[in-house]
Amino acid sequence: MDLPLTTGSSSVSDNAPADPAGLHPADLHPAGPSTLVALYPGPALRLDMALGVVEANAEAEDMMDSDPRWLPDLRSWLTASSVAPGLRSVPVESLRGIMIVEWAGVPLPDGGFLLLGRDDTLERQLRHTLTESRRRYKDLVEVSSDFAWETGADGTFVFVSHKGALGYPADALIGRDPRSLALDEWGDLPLPFDCQRPVDQSELWLKGADGTPACVVASALPLFGPQGDWIGARGVCRDVTDQVLRSNELARIRNRERLLGHIVHTLRDRLDAAEALTVAAAETARALSADGCRIYRAEDGAGCLSLVAEFGAELPDMGDAQALLLDRIASGDDRRREGVVVERLDDLQLIGERTEYRQAVNGALLVWRAGDSEPWDDDDRHLMSGVADHIGIAHAHLAYQERLRRLSERDGLTGLFNRRTFFERLEESISRPDSGPSALLYVDLDNFKAVNDLHGHQQGDAVLKAIGTLLTTGVRPGDLPGRLGGDEFVLWLGRTDEAKARIVADRLLAGMKELAHLSASPEKPLGLSIGIAVHVPGRGETVRELTDRSDAAMYDAKKSGKGHYALAREHRPAFLSDPVSSAPVAEPAP
């Protein structure tokens, strides 16, 4: 580029003013400023009084060619500080990018200036990088830890980062023994604050300012003096209380789900609901570390709870208190917490939960521990609620199974055992060794066809239902009333001799008087014809033979005029049979 350069050297006066650095212009170089500009290792300029460029070396010319904007900035600087300009840094755009040039301005005797430049880019970058590194280190320490600390030779805090720690301000911790922050359970165990060797990610529990425990992860390095003596430690701590609590809660939830899943599989893997409830009682007690467990079920149409399964220690008799407790469990009261009733009675800790299916209460779950055991906690309550939900489903499953069993075992109209079930039960009964005889009553309705013919099958169904009620009234738990089909019925009387069988037959015949209004007409009154066969154990009589004997006796009763009962011939084994057998004895209605 064309520069307004002038040739020749200017004379230098011995009494010229000194530059800001304390150098006399004549001392800059023996040959004078012109030679100095040419020989200077960096960019150099000589300006006249008008701040015009008199001389520039090659590096300065390159800078003016690439970016002429920096020179006016220097002129403005020199104009404003012509007495002692000192140093000035300006950015210059070069082929290498933006560079920072630091200029030293030296006044010359002729009123001009000598400008000597130095590339300050790398040094500035290093200073900037160092500053950024320090800031980055500070940010990383603050992000990765809740507080940094240092202890002295006496073991007390000599430094704590400005945020403080554990709810304490930094000033409250300076001079304090870190062991005063440790939980009492920590005892004399070593702490990172007085470590003799490096500590990495050590977990410990400390007390916060409010007294609550806080879990921190600490990393520390010991400090040693020139003589190798320990003079303290330095490190950082990060509060991980929330993470630890969440992790512990997640572990408890997973453990609770594992236990609950095991109990649920126990309930589902067994086809028999009653057996499943028995196993569930055992698994529930084990899962809750309880001494015992009871499962109650609400009977259909009844408000009382009946025990269906239990496990473990026997529950002491608590009298009315137990009934009241079960009532509270089933109904709920203001002491319920998350659906669970917790009670202490005598020397027991009890916890109970009601069971439901489709929002209807169908039972209760009761678990207990000894009074000196750990009290029930939230995990126990959650597990109880989960188990109760599935036991409620098991109760519904059991009720469904019982309904199917009733449908498969009972006659749909009368509720008596159907033909198949009756003979199965009879087979079981006569195959058991017994101490005495039993009796089978074969019952047939008299004049029943006339009821259907004259009044229809609806009236006939009413008659059959009434007979079913008559047969079940007054029977004992071991007796078996059944309907074989049509108007034929049977009644098995366990442990009943001939005299007692006659009494039952008389009661049945007398009971028909209460059903006279259901007869087709006075001319065709309803009645019963009953055949009685007494079964004596040990004689090898089969169900078929017993039934045939009672059936034959029933026909003999009909032949005698209906409304009667008849006794069947005594069964005798084939090798003891007489050539002449006794005929059935028909008895009139009372």
CATH code for the domain of 45: 3.30.450.20
Tokens representing 129 are: 């990088």
Looking at the structure, tell me whether residues 513 and 555 fall in a common domain: yes
- Whether residue 488 is contained in a domain is answered as yes
Tokens representing 305 are: 């709870």
User: 293: closest CA among 173, 226, 210, 384?
Assistant: 384
Beta bridge partners of 533: 440
Contact status, residue 534 vs residue 501, Cβ threshold 8 Å: yes
What pLDDT is stored for residue 142 in this prediction? Answer: 62
Q: How does pLDDT run across 293-310, given as a tens digit for each residue?
A: 999 998 765 568 888 899
What pLDDT is stored for residue 487 in this prediction? Answer: 94
Contact status, residue 587 vs residue 554, Cβ threshold 8 Å: no
Domain range holding 274?
249-407
- Whether residue 500 is contained in a domain is answered as yes
What pLDDT is stored for residue 30 in this prediction? Answer: 47
- Which ranges of 269-352 does DSSP label H, i.e. alpha helix? 273-287, 320-331
Query: Which of 184, 212, 239 delimits the end of a domain?
Result: 239
Q: How many domains does the chain have?
A: 4
Looking at the structure, tell me whether residues 271 and 378 fall in a common domain: yes
Query: Which of 354, 376, 407 delimits the end of a domain?
Result: 407
User: 581: closest CA among 558, 554, 552, 540?
Assistant: 552
- Whether residue 8 is contained in a domain is answered as no
Looking at the structure, tell me whether residues 490 and 548 fall in a common domain: yes
SS3 181: helix
- Whether residue 15 is contained in a domain is answered as no
What pLDDT is stored for residue 16 in this prediction? Answer: 38
Tokens representing 397 are: 């499953």
Q: How far apart are CA 352 and CA 370, in angstroms?
A: 15
Looking at the structure, tell me whether residues 428 and 403 fall in a common domain: no
- Whether residue 412 is contained in a domain is answered as no
Looking at the structure, tell me whether residues 229 and 208 fall in a common domain: yes
Contact status, residue 51 vs residue 79, Cβ threshold 8 Å: yes
In angstroms and rounded to an integer, the radius of gyration of the C-alpha atoms of the chain is: 55
Query: Which of 239, 271, 304 delimits the end of a domain?
Result: 239
Beta bridge partners of 249: none
- Whether residue 387 is contained in a domain is answered as yes
User: 304: closest CA among 346, 364, 353?
Assistant: 364
Residue ranges of the chain whose pLDDT lies below 70: 1-33, 82-84, 131-145, 271, 300-303, 332-339, 435, 574-590
What pLDDT is stored for residue 19 in this prediction? Answer: 42
Q: Which amino acid is at 278?
A: T
Question: What stretch of H or E contains 452?
Answer: helix 448-455
Q: How far apart are CA 93 and CA 214, in angstroms?
A: 56
Q: How far apart are CA 493 and CA 480, in angstroms?
A: 7
Looking at the structure, tell me whether residues 375 and 402 fall in a common domain: yes
What is the DSSP annotation of 358-422?
TTEEEEEEEEEEETTSPPP-HHHHHHHHHHHHHHHHHHHHHHHHHHHHHHHHB-TTT-SB-HHHH
Q: How far is CA 476 from CA 402, 428, 472, 481, in A?
A: 21, 17, 9, 10
Looking at the structure, tell me whether residues 266 and 284 fall in a common domain: yes
- Whether residue 106 is contained in a domain is answered as yes
How many of the other CB atoms lie within 10 Å of CB of 29?
Answer: 15
Residue written as token pair 């520039």 = 56
Residue written as token pair 């408000």 = 303
Looking at the structure, tell me whether residues 202 and 57 fall in a common domain: no
- Whether residue 12 is contained in a domain is answered as no
Beta bridge partners of 368: 292, 350
Looking at the structure, tell me whether residues 98 and 206 fall in a common domain: no
Looking at the structure, tell me whether residues 496 and 583 fall in a common domain: yes
| Cα separation of the two ends of the chain | 150
Q: How far is CA 233 from CA 152, 157, 159, 222, 327, in A?
A: 7, 9, 11, 4, 64
Q: How far apart are CA 422 and CA 471, in angstroms?
A: 14
Contact status, residue 80 vs residue 88, Cβ threshold 8 Å: no
Looking at the structure, tell me whether residues 447 and 320 fall in a common domain: no
Looking at the structure, tell me whether residues 426 and 564 fall in a common domain: yes
The domain that holds 497 is classified in CATH as 3.30.70.270
Phi and psi for 20 in degrees, rounded to 5? -60, -25
Question: What stretch of H or E contains 115?
Answer: strand 113-119
Cα three-residue angle 490-492-497, rounded to 5 degrees? 125
Cα three-residue angle 270-267-373, rounded to 5 degrees? 135
